[in-house]
Structure 1
Amino acid sequence: MKLLKIVVILFLSVVYTSNAQKINVADYGIEPGKDVTLEVNQLIESLKGKKDVTLFFPKGQYEFYPENAIEMYRAVTNHDNSLKRLAIPIFNFENFTLDGNGSTFMFHGKICPITVKGSTNTVLKNFTIDWEHSFVNEMKVIENNVEENSFVAEINSGKFDFRVENNQILFQHYDWEDVIGQNIAFDPKTKAPIWQTRNYALNGKGKAKVVKLDNVKAKFTNITKVTPPVGTVFATYGPSPGGNRFAQAIHLDQSKDNFIENVTVFAAGGMGVIAERCENITLNKFIVTSRSDRNFATRADATHFLGCKGLIKVENCLLEHMMDDGINVHGAYIKVEKYLGEKTFLCEISHKQQWGLVFAEPGDKIMLTSRETVLPIYETTVTKAKILNEKRVLITVSDVPAKMPTGPLSFENITWNPDLIMRNNTIRDNRARAALITTKGNVLIENNFFSSQMHGILIEGDNKAWYESGGVRDITIINNTFDNIGYGSGEHYPLFAAPLFLPNQHIGAEKYHHNITFSNNKIKSYNGLLVHAFNVIGLKVEGNEVELSTKYPTGSKLPTVSLDYCENVSIQKNEFRNFSWPLKVEKSENSTSIVVKKNKGLSKK
């Protein structure tokens, strides 16, 4: 019987191998050093209907320009929807591998490198994505005058042109110009956002003045709130929304079993990887970083996952120098505009950068939710989803409450909530957070290194701003290193778990987040902050080691552990070393079943 099994396995292996096809792009005139956009598009089109295909690129640098790329209107979540030029469209394939063999894919202008849609078992490996001209405009401060709040800066070291018109600087790109939009001050010595970088944001008060001094330099007066120090790199990356998220590096859309391995992203006019409504995604040795002659990488998140399911696995990755978060995993709340009767609701995609999202399909379980408390009300199943336009959809469900709830309502898709494993990754030196995690799946965050300008790990969810759903149910954060978290303002935590509430929202009878474990982590901290939790039931903060760091100014007026409307909390066996000010646990009166004991260097308030 054992011999028979071996024979069957060998036979199936032979059959699979005989059906697999390796396509060497060189055989189709696709060669390094020239624009290959049209040829790659045509080759992929010729492979439609074939399975088990590997598209192989001999090592080299391949150029991709927008003029000959196919164009289609694309709704890309958390980006700006628009007509987009696609360099490598992988649509409706089964068992498709793109193997770059160590090649660089160099892009020019507004073009989207890789789009995977409606495909199964797609492998992207062994290549680098870069743009000749970065989407981030860098200005190095070479002189300053604090009294007049002015500075002189080199513009991208003279590599790219700029002009000044009507007292406004315009950065020239492939076929468009950027004004100063979103911005951040960066310290080239630490390779991270500068300490308290918010001080150097755009002024917004008084009349700013810009003078072009020569082809390399310009003088700025009253541009920033505080004059940036000499040596600072002041970076801008276009207006938002509608101006700086138009060309993501990799878009995974409605696909199953996606693998990205040994891929580096040096630049993107959006995110490194954006995935929506995908099942099972693996990132291994995925790198987002700046090129050696730049300080910045992508204009937005390194990785972002919305409305996915199955397992997201992120291992052995380096994510740094991006202009937003390292990873964000969440669902979406959509507004209920009106109940039409007959179990049908008129709904609206809540956030502009989610318009076009496939929120639900027949068979999905969805939850009717209060927009006031962000709490679930009634679970049902979708029987029909009729898309009216990219903003509105009619959703028909199997059953509705006997009495329709009053007040503003929304829906949350609870079928599409992925499990997440993050292991052996480094996320550092970026604007914003290391990780945002709001999924109801099982989450393990283990053996990672985090150092971010804002919170280390943010577990949020909101139904009024970004409409990111997913109160967590089981998340374990263990054996990680958090290094000087929150140097953007000095007031951020390694772990911050709280739904975002706006003034017209309020807490409900139940807790939003459940079962969070934050244990055995090592924290280097200049401010002594550890955990802030609001609206959480089941929180363990145990066995963490927190050591004073003097890399940034030390001290904080905030509590080391802050608990508000929490229940069943254990703060035990944590050790704080070398702090010269009192570190305290602060809890609200509406927090219950709180155990604080056997901690070294931490006192109760």
Structure 2
Amino acid sequence: MRCIVTTLLALSVSTTFANQTIDVADHGIVPGTDCTFAVNRLIESVADQDAVTLRFAAGQYDFYPENAVERHRAVSNHDNSLKRIAFPLFGHQNVTIDGGGAVFMFHGRISPLVLAQCTNITLKNFTIDWQRSFHDELPVIASNPDDGSFVVEIDPKRYPHTIKNGNLLSDKYDWQDRMGSNIVFDPKTNAPIFNTRDYSINFSAPYTASHAGENAVKISSRVRKSPPPVGSVLISYGTHPTSRLCPAIHLDQANQTRIQNVTIHAAGGMGVIAERCDDVDLDGLVVTSNQDRIVSTRADATHFIGCRGTIHLQNCLFEHMLDDGINVHGAYVKVVEYLGDRQFLCEISHFQQWGLVFSKPGDRIALLSRTTVLPFFETKVTETRILNERRLLVTLAEVPDQMPEGPLSMENLTWYPDLVMKNNTIRENRARGALITTKGKVLLQDNVIASQMHGILIEGDNNKWYESGGVQDITITGNTFDNVGFEGGPVYPLLASPLLNETQHMGEGHFHRNIRFTDNTIRSFSGHLVQARSVTGLTISGNRLEFSKDYPAVTDFPAVDLEYCDNVTIRDNDAVGFDRTLVVETSDDCSSVSVGPNSGLDRP
């Protein structure tokens, strides 16, 4: 059946197309069958058409890797490999995939949706799931703190395993995973257990797995402090380099992408990973576990690297991930050698960024010191030559009269997006709620964040993940932070600080600037509010801290902790229910810090 739809709304411009709607059932794509080959062929057949909607009916559609198109894909923050793809959109324009409430069920190592060099694509009204998840969920039924051993129950249908030479192997679709990275969840909260690091297990050290009854396995292994307690659930999610191969949705140099009313129950990586994309709109995206599992995605719900335009998130729910809710950043690349004549031999810094499109002619670039992580020169790129997935030659329009001593890096200033996040919920996940490191204008308003680590992390580092982007203009207002930091320790609703190693130090200038943390509600067992380092222009005002008894009280750290900050205002904040006055601490290298009036919060 075909019909004509007259209007297709693009993200940034309104354009009218003749939209052809294709009922996929007319092409043999129906629930209850392996649809992979037929979907591949249908997508290929519409590559040259303009304004097409592929419409599914409700039901479960299955996708297997055997007949899927295969391409080598470099995927940032994942492991590069040959990937089988269910929905391969390469160079398509003005396409809508309307799932009509369908469930797209995937089997094995297959990438559901890849949008590469596409324009004006809409994904809506469907659910992504895997029949066999990439992680295992093993309830703990016995625990012995004396010898560090514990016993897990294993569902043989949902999480089949094999014991071989004392090692516990997870049987997946057509491969086996060794026990590797792991975390302990609390099934009562569907979140990591309080102080979950105490129960981490070192499966890289010698350990022994043995049968302990029907569907039960005893594990004798080196644990950090204590074996997982009875009633908790051990989540095991594999080892590098095979644990991040299959993100649910990969956007690669895609412009004007909308994802609407899509649910992601699982992924062998991130829910949505976008790189060098221009304008991405997420409305009603849900990343959550299905009814049979506690955990959803292997990594972040959403991740944006080297994008521009506006990233817009509204009405989204991200929960139960094994990493962050959202991460927005650029990338530092190392300068290996200055070759003269304005040409630099550069290297992609992090192994999970290999293959990244760092720069193209016309992009504005900053040269910076890797020692202070501060820029000293700006110019434009005239040429980029890719040598291989790790190294590239970058030619600049200008260079400094004298190149400074010490290790250098480059940062692409053109590809930083604005970010608007409104009315979203991020909760019950491992790691942070939101990592925001972009030089664009940022607004986070009316969100709910209840993450294991920092609620919002404004970081940037040139030594570990090489995620760039000292913020310039960020407003965080009207949000609710509910018991963030239940990993324990100095964890804050807001942490703004570059990550420096022992070879790096502060330079003459601040890394972050113009951060406003205002009118937020913080339910807290710790009384933590803000930790900041190397920030100029910081306002903390109108926030309400309410004491929570949901987790054991943490009293060892100040409510506000400032180091090397300038032009700071802390006023009109209200702390209630705590049995002490919350403390503001500032280091000697802070300047122009104004504290008060506040209620229940003051300098010692």
Change (3 A) 1:156 1:271: farther
Q: Could you tell me which residue of structure 2 aligns to residue 5 of structure 1?
A: none
Q: Mean alpha-carbon deviation: is it higher for 46-55 or for 308-317? A: 46-55
- 2:416 aligned partner, one-letter code: N
CA distance in 1, matches of 2:295, 2:204: 28
SS of residue in 1 equivalent to 2:25? helix
Contact 1:209 / 1:223 at 8 angstroms: preserved in 2? Answer: no
2:77 corresponds to 1:78:
yes
Contact 1:198 / 1:489 at 8 angstroms: preserved in 2? Answer: no
Q: Could you tell me which residue of structure 2 aligns to residue 562 of structure 1?
A: 561
Q: Mean alpha-carbon deviation: is it higher for 205-214 or for 61-70? A: 205-214
Contact 1:491 / 1:556 at 8 angstroms: preserved in 2? Answer: no
CA distance in 2, matches of 1:145, 1:504: 42
Offset of residue 205 of structure 1: 9.8
Offset of residue 491 of structure 1: 2.5
Contact 1:90 / 1:116 at 8 angstroms: preserved in 2? Answer: yes
Deviations 1:502-548 (A, max 9, x none): 00000000000000000000000001110000000000000000010
Q: Could you tell me which residue of structure 1 aligns to residue 537 of structure 2?
A: 538
Offset of residue 555 of structure 1: 2.9
Q: Could you tell me which residue of structure 2 aligns to residue 300 of structure 1?
A: 299
- 2:603 aligned partner, one-letter code: K
SS of residue in 2 equivalent to 1:43? helix
CA distance in 2, matches of 1:42, 1:205: 44
- 2:72 aligned partner, one-letter code: Y
- 2:146 aligned partner, one-letter code: E
CA distance in 2, matches of 1:457, 1:172: 37
Q: Could you tell me which residue of structure 1 aligns to residue 12 of structure 2?
A: none
Q: Could you tell me which residue of structure 1 aligns to residue 494 of structure 2?
A: 495
Q: Could you tell me which residue of structure 2 aligns to residue 95 of structure 1?
A: 94
SS of residue in 1 equivalent to 2:578? coil
Change (3 A) 1:223 1:215: farther
Q: Could you tell me which residue of structure 1 aligns to residue 270 of structure 2?
A: 271
Deviations 1:526-573 (A, max 9, x none): 011100000000000000000100000113211110000000000101
CA distance in 2, matches of 1:427, 1:152: 32
Offset of residue 167 of structure 1: 1.9
Deviations 1:62-91 (A, max 9, x none): 000000001111000000000000110111
2:311 corresponds to 1:312:
yes
Contact 2:163 / 2:210 at 8 angstroms: preserved in 1? Answer: yes
SS of residue in 1 equivalent to 2:284? strand
Q: Could you tell me which residue of structure 1 aligns to residue 595 of structure 2?
A: 596
Q: Could you tell me which residue of structure 2 aligns to residue 360 of structure 1?
A: 359
CA distance in 1, matches of 2:182, 2:162: 18
CA distance in 2, matches of 1:170, 1:204: 11
CA distance in 2, matches of 1:466, 1:199: 24
SS of residue in 2 equivalent to 1:51? coil
CA distance in 2, matches of 1:604, 1:507: 25
Query: How many residue pairs are counted as aligned between the two chains?
Result: 593
Q: Mean alpha-carbon deviation: is it higher for 470-479 or for 136-145? A: 136-145
SS of residue in 2 equivalent to 1:41? helix
Q: Could you tell me which residue of structure 2 aligns to residue 410 of structure 1?
A: 409
| Counterparts of residues 222-261 of structure 1 (less than 5 Å) | 222-225=221-224, 226-240=226-240, 242-261=241-260
Q: Could you tell me which residue of structure 2 aligns to residue 393 of structure 1?
A: 392
2:552 corresponds to 1:553:
yes
CA distance in 2, matches of 1:543, 1:87: 49
Contact 1:158 / 1:215 at 8 angstroms: preserved in 2? Answer: no
Deviations 1:31-61 (A, max 9, x none): 1101010011011111121110101111111
SS of residue in 2 equivalent to 1:299? coil
Q: Mean alpha-carbon deviation: is it higher for 344-353 or for 574-583? A: 574-583
Contact 2:7 / 2:19 at 8 angstroms: preserved in 1? Answer: no
Deviations 1:250-302 (A, max 9, x none): 00000110000000000000000000000000000000000101000000000
- 2:439 aligned partner, one-letter code: K
Contact 1:20 / 1:51 at 8 angstroms: preserved in 2? Answer: yes
Change (3 A) 1:18 1:513: closer
CA distance in 2, matches of 1:334, 1:514: 23
Change (3 A) 1:407 1:12: closer
SS of residue in 1 equivalent to 2:285? strand
Change (3 A) 1:375 1:210: same
Q: Mean alpha-carbon deviation: is it higher for 551-560 or for 523-532? A: 551-560
Query: Identical aligned pairs, as a percentage?
Result: 54
- 1:231 aligned partner, one-letter code: G
Offset of residue 163 of structure 1: 1.1
Offset of residue 20 of structure 1: 1.5
Offset of residue 213 of structure 1: 3.0
CA distance in 2, matches of 1:381, 1:501: 27
SS of residue in 1 equivalent to 2:269? coil
CA distance in 1, matches of 2:456, 2:258: 25
- 2:131 aligned partner, one-letter code: E
CA distance in 1, matches of 2:480, 2:7: 48
Stretches of structure 2 lacking an aligned partner (at least 5 in a row):
1-5, 10-14
CA distance in 2, matches of 1:579, 1:222: 40
Q: Could you tell me which residue of structure 1 aligns to residue 117 of structure 2?
A: 118
TM-score (norm 1): 0.96
CA distance in 1, matches of 2:17, 2:404: 59
CA distance in 1, matches of 2:44, 2:275: 24
Contact 1:350 / 1:467 at 8 angstroms: preserved in 2? Answer: yes
Change (3 A) 1:39 1:364: same
Contact 1:137 / 1:156 at 8 angstroms: preserved in 2? Answer: no
SS of residue in 2 equivalent to 1:403? coil
2:521 corresponds to 1:506:
no
- 2:337 aligned partner, one-letter code: K
Change (3 A) 1:547 1:31: same
| Counterparts of residues 35-434 of structure 1 (less than 5 Å) | 35-156=34-155, 158-203=157-202, 207-214=206-213, 216-225=215-224, 226-240=226-240, 242-434=241-433
Offset of residue 206 of structure 1: 7.5
CA distance in 2, matches of 1:210, 1:92: 49
CA distance in 2, matches of 1:81, 1:366: 26
Change (3 A) 1:483 1:419: same
Contact 2:281 / 2:313 at 8 angstroms: preserved in 1? Answer: yes
Contact 1:161 / 1:215 at 8 angstroms: preserved in 2? Answer: no
Contact 1:151 / 1:227 at 8 angstroms: preserved in 2? Answer: yes
Contact 2:17 / 2:51 at 8 angstroms: preserved in 1? Answer: no
Q: Could you tell me which residue of structure 1 aligns to residue 519 of structure 2?
A: 520
Aligned-CA RMSD value = 1.5
Contact 2:563 / 2:587 at 8 angstroms: preserved in 1? Answer: yes
SS of residue in 2 equivalent to 1:134? coil
CA distance in 2, matches of 1:472, 1:201: 34
Offset of residue 159 of structure 1: 2.5
CA distance in 2, matches of 1:250, 1:584: 44
Offset of residue 209 of structure 1: 2.2
Q: Could you tell me which residue of structure 1 aligns to residue 3 of structure 2?
A: none
Change (3 A) 1:42 1:521: same
